[in-house]
Amino acid sequence: MIRLHCTNKLLPKLPTNANGRLPSSASQVIPGLEALNPLSGWHGSLFLVKGRNCVICVHEATRLAIYIPCLNKADFADLDRLFAQALLQSLEAIQATEEQINTAKQLLQPLVIDDECKDAMHMCLNQAKACIEQMLWDDNTPFEKLPFAKASFLLAEMPFNLQAQKEVVWPKKLMLRLLDDAAASYQRATSRHTSTDGHASPDGKVVSMVDFKKPRKS
């Protein structure tokens, strides 16, 4: 599953059940895999940008920011699909390879939502919002006409400061590296399964999520 930590601005808008799951995904979540999924661990908030609802999510490990613009009331119940769509489109915008995008698709799971948004991530969310507002100001354009690919690319190129480590990180670089490491782990696990059984699984989905956490050999 993909954990999304929400601010108190976003959480009340989401029709989650007692387990933090949206109606469309309540029966699809695979228990016990969250800690093993490197694509899990997002923080999200709701902002009003030029009078339109906008959800911004930042991946804690890489600081990659994605945004979902111009939401109406019904869209919040469909956040699972909109989140996955925004992430994949953002990866295309930052020129992820086909293999990296396919890896992201394999790692994507339904969202599980809670209210444990960290203060440091609040700062990242506000920084991403400010970046979007600056683009709208510079181009003097309505929010719905802001080119998604351009905005996603600029968000991914925006450096973030990690206060604890006192270092600057580059979201695009970190996210693409994460996907490369996950793809390498998938290949190792597939090779191990094939060599053990003498053949691959017919559906190709033979990898335990734990294999995605194993570091790639340099």
Closest CA to 215 of 175, 176, 188: 188
Domain boundaries, the chain: 2-121+131-158
pLDDT at 201: 45
Cα 80–86–92 angle (5° rounding)? 140
pLDDT at 47: 97
Q: What is the chain's pLDDT, residue by residue, as a tens digit (218 residues)? A: 899 999 999 999 999 999 899 987 755 555 555 567 999 999 999 999 999 999 999 999 999 999 999 999 999 999 999 999 999 999 999 999 999 999 999 999 999 999 999 998 999 999 999 999 999 999 898 999 999 999 999 999 999 876 656 778 899 999 999 999 999 987 777 776 555 555 544 444 434 444 545 544 44
Cβ atoms of 6 and 45 within 8 Å: the answer is: yes
Cβ atoms of 60 and 29 within 8 Å: the answer is: no
Q: Write down the pTM of the prediction.
A: 0.84
pLDDT at 188: 79
pLDDT at 28: 57
